[in-house]
Amino acid sequence: DQQVKQNSPSLSVQEGRISILNCDYTNSMFDYFLWYKKYPAEGPTFLISISSIKDKNEDGRFTVFLNKSAKHLSLHIVPSQPGDSAVYFCAARLNYGGATNKLIFGTGTLLAVQP
Amino acid sequence: EAQVTQNPRYLITVTGKKLTVTCSQNMNHEYMSWYRQDPGLGLRQIYYSMNVEVTDKGDVPEGYKVSRKEKRNFPLILESPSPNQTSLYFCASSSGQAFSYEQYFGPGTRLTVT
């Protein structure tokens, strides 16, 4: 049972345009949501996060939006650059009430930014 | 430089031949974890460790063992590898504090079992 879903395996956008990557989740116990970026032959690297008590977090060209009622989050990249081409993983943290850092990952979306 | 290292980066082996993938972090992190990445399945947690001598199963632990004798090291052991364990493996670490959710990943180990 996939608790974190990324329904789009791939996305292609033109340089300078907006990229929107989507993620849906099912578990109401998630307390943080994160986006990771992965280049080929490298490990995932943390990009941006949002607490479950917020609805927006912005960091430069990257903005994450959280809609708790819809159990949906999205990552906006504006403007998109060719160097943004990578696989993007959505992840959610489960909070068991103690010091736990279990992350549940989505299946990833391959973003291709065309020059 | 803060980092998570894994060795080897690439490994081809045969069914049943025991192997160990090492993982080491230099950030004094309490929490360490192993994931496998497979096409269409994303990253799935194999085992994790909250601190030295404290380990627990993740979502796909069958066929794997781990140990945490030192804080910095968290090796993944495949006692009798099978072809369905062919995958890309990542080690990750993070602070054990509840407010620290970011995990730092190693570069990955691509394992092929024939």
pLDDT one-digit tens code per residue, A55-102? 999 999 999 999 999 999 999 999 999 999 999 999 998 876 554 667
A107 pLDDT higher than 60 = yes
Q: Inspect the interface and report whether the beta carbons of A44 and B90 lie closer than 8 Å.
A: yes
pLDDT at B100 over 70: no
* Alpha-carbon radius of gyration of chain B: 13
Among chain B residues, CA nearest to A46: B102
Query: CA B70 to CA B64: how far, in whole Å?
Result: 19
Contacts of B85 (CB under 8 A, 6+ apart): B63, B64, B78, B111, B113
Q: What's the confidence (pLDDT) of residue B43? A: 93
Residues B111, B44 contacting (CB under 8 angstroms): no
Residue B99 pLDDT more than 80?
no
Q: What percent helix, strand, coil does chain A show, rounded to 5? A: 5, 55, 40
Yes or no: say if B45 and B58 are a contact pair by the CB < 8 Å rule: yes
Torsion of CA A14, A74, A93, A52, to 10 degrees: 150
3-state secondary structure of B85: helix
| A-interface mutation test, from B10, B36, B101, most A Cβ less than 10 A away | B101
Would the CB atoms of B101 and A93 count as touching at under 8 Å?
Answer: yes
